[in-house]
Chain A
């Protein structure tokens, strides 16, 4: 079955720096890759997603890149702010698997003021 590996498990940056989180997936049939942000004690919330027919997507300070050949995708956060501190999850899914999201292990991002 599908497996998603996420690195690093923890990431500490200074406010204003960039943060990059990387994920790899095992099943080449995966075609949907969302990223979720989970603040302490809260629900996961989608921050950006990308489909396999697109190589890059950007939304203000957040961008996601996808390399289908290498089966990896990355989240890039620029100009980090303390409120970006949270756990970030990548996930992968295949359209034939009706909504089944396989999540990475999560990255705890700490942005120091």
Chain B
């Protein structure tokens, strides 16, 4: 019954590798996001999708490519991993209403360590 889930929870890999992180939400939300939390705990938005359409792309290197096969899933593929990509990546989802922003619910996070 988990609302927003991510896999894997931990990811340790070598520089130069390509990896993917998957996110699924069962809340029926139409907007999903990827955030990066660095070692100083700073949370920064990377991407958002609304009904499978890319809405926000925050000057993220093009080695990062999000993909939304349907509105319940938003995956993140990272090519040619670099040391600086080490961080915790959080997926989130929300339901946009005409009255304004609604709560964003976060997944458990994927801890990526690039060696």
Contact = CB atoms under 8 A, between A and B. Distances in A.
B104 interface: yes
Interface residues of B, number: 24
Contacts of B105: 46
A31 B56 CA distance: 18
B96 A98 contact: yes
B103 A49 contact: yes
Contact of B104 (A97, A99, A102, A105): A99
16 contacts: A32-B101, A38-B41, A43-B109, A46-B103, A49-B103, A93-B101, A95-B100, A97-B56, A99-B48, A99-B55, A99-B56, A101-B104, A103-B44, A105-B40, A106-B41, A106-B43
Interface of A: 31-32, 34, 36, 38, 42-46, 49, 51, 87, 89, 93, 95, 97-103, 105-106
Interface of B: 31, 33, 40-45, 48, 50, 55-56, 90, 94, 96, 100-101, 103-109
6 closest A-B pairs by beta carbon, nearest first, are: A32-B101, A43-B106, A103-B43, A106-B41, A98-B55, A95-B100
